Chains A and B, each alone.
Chain A
Amino acid sequence: MTTTTDPSTDEAGTARRDRVLDLVGLLARLFLGVVLLWAGVSKVGRPLTSQRAVQAYEIMPFDLAGYVGLALPFLEIVLGALLVLGLFTRPVAVVSTLLMLAFVAGIAQAWARGLTIDCGCFGGGGQIAAADTQYPQEIARDLGFALAGAWLWWRPRSLVSLDRILFGH
């Protein structure tokens, strides 16, 4: 912005900036939302596989990990759908970001402990050959998803959202 003090120019500049940031919000919502929907849908109907994908991390007690494995796909779908709709963007973004950070922590501990597993992020999962592990890529990818979530956590306002239509913000 220039040194002008004309309030009308100032207001127009802020409005334009807001629109750009709202657009970034929309892109972040759609990106993270579609990723979560895709991750959830690819696991639905494969209960044993998703149970074992979680159990392979060897973090939680065996039976608890089994239930987490069964619940995760549906949680991901719910979060993804809410993000795509733009409903309660901030709370949903908070949960999604924390979920992604939990995935990062899970993958990192598997790597550190020398487990050789597939992250099972989009289906699959379980033990694989040591040469086939992709820990750095999986962590980088999930951090990217967490970044989109963090943006919406910080600034949940976005274009075409149910939040805006229903509540006006």
Chain B
Amino acid sequence: MAKKNATKQASARQAKIQAAQKQSGGGVNKIVVATVVVVVAIIAVVAGVIWSEQSKRDAATGGGNALPPGVSELGAGYPAFSDVTPVDGAPTLDLYEDFQCPACASFEGALGSTIEDLATSGKVRLVYHVKNFLDDNLRNDSSTRAGNAAFCAADAGVFQDYHDQLYAQQPATEGDGFSDETLTSIATSVGLSGEALSTWETCLTAGRYDDYVNSVEEASFADGVRGTPTVRINGEDVELATIQTPEALVQAVEDATQ
């Protein structure tokens, strides 16, 4: 194609440039430079992939691998209000959330209390899937730490209150994350004190449920959960636009009750 464009004038110009280059001692071997550039490019991309894999693995390890109360295996959701006996034919409501997700906070603000009413009255079997994919995108570890903190609170029987407070006190700017002070002040505000508080603090520092939160993240993505919040009733995705009001959600639950 270069030849097509080369007019007489251009080639004359070219000759002049080449002559000037010879004078200035130019004449770099193009094939050598091309080889170097290609090799460096390949090394850069391959090294980048290996480094990314490594940093992904590092982010997912370090804490403990305990299972929250009522959870039988890694990757499974956390059944809330396990002391409530569900009514006959009550559907399972799976809720996939990330504590740093602003859309989850507004979802909780609009429907959280309705969901809890449904769960405490046994009309749904409520299962929380606490995810942490936003840690990667926001380049912090707040979703994992908040998730761990909530399951540490589950050990003391106050998961639900802790969960609600995390959304109520979600940082105004996405990405600012939860400080240890915030996590601890939530623990005291939901009633932990004395020995219960120090047990909770030990659990928080140890990252007792880090592996569990990571496993839920992976399992839910493999299950086709591509964003948060995701709501499933009896395993079926529910379009959020169809349950924007408490009444619509209650109706959807009633429709799914057998």
A contact residues vs B (CB 8 Å cutoff): 10-11, 14-15, 18, 44-50, 52, 56, 67, 70-71, 73-75, 77-78, 82, 87-88, 117, 123-124, 126-129, 154-155, 166-169
B1-44 interface mask toward A, CB cutoff 8 Å, 1 = contact, 0 = none?
Answer: 10001010110011001100100001010100110010001001
Give the distance in Å from the alpha carbon of A142 to the alpha carbon of B28 in the complex. Answer: 35
B9 x A155 contact (CB < 8 A)? no
B168 on interface, CB distance cutoff 8 Å: no
Closest to A131 in B: B241
Secondary structure call for the A interface = helix
B45 x A78 contact (CB < 8 A)? yes
B contact residues vs A (CB 8 Å cutoff): 1, 5, 7, 9-10, 13-14, 17-18, 21, 26, 28, 30, 33-34, 37, 41, 44-45, 47-49, 52-53, 55-56, 59, 133, 136-137, 139, 221, 226-227, 240-241
Given A46-B139, A127-B226, are A155 and B28 neighbors across the interface (CB < 8 Å)? Answer: no
Give the distance in Å from the alpha carbon of A128 to the alpha carbon of B227 in the complex. Answer: 7
A47 x B33 contact (CB < 8 A)? no
A74 x B133 contact (CB < 8 A)? no
Q: Which residues of B contact A47 (CB under 8 A)?
A: 52-53, 55-56, 136
Q: Which residues of B contact A67 (CB under 8 A)?
A: 49
Minimum distance in angstroms from B36 CB to a CB of chain A: 10
Given A52-B133, A126-B226, A169-B14, 20 more A-B residue pairs with CB atoms under 8 Å apart are A14-B9, A14-B10, A18-B10, A46-B139, A48-B56, A48-B137, A49-B133, A50-B52, A52-B226, A71-B45, A74-B47, A74-B48, A82-B37, A124-B137, A128-B227, A129-B241, A166-B28, A168-B17, A168-B21, A169-B17
Minimum distance in angstroms from A131 CB to a CB of chain B: 8
Q: Which residues of A contact B52 (CB under 8 A)?
A: 47, 50, 70
B226 x A45 contact (CB < 8 A)? no
Give the distance in Å from the alpha carbon of A110 to the alpha carbon of B136 in the complex. Answer: 24
Give the distance in Å from the alpha carbon of A169 to the alpha carbon of B15 in the complex. Answer: 10
Give the distance in Å from the alpha carbon of A18 to the alpha carbon of B10 in the complex. Answer: 9
Give the distance in Å from the alpha carbon of A56 to the alpha carbon of B45 in the complex. Answer: 22
For B13, B221, B227, the residue with the greatest tally of chain A CB atoms inside 10 Å of its CB is: B227
Q: Which residues of B contact A56 (CB under 8 A)?
A: 226
Given A14-B9, A52-B133, are A127 and B48 neighbors across the interface (CB < 8 Å)? Answer: no
Q: Which residues of B contact A75 (CB under 8 A)?
A: 45
Closest to B54 in A: A47
Minimum distance in angstroms from B169 CB to a CB of chain A: 25
Q: Which residues of B contact A73 (CB under 8 A)?
A: 48
A155 x B53 contact (CB < 8 A)? no
Give the distance in Å from the alpha carbon of A74 to the alpha carbon of B44 in the complex. Answer: 7
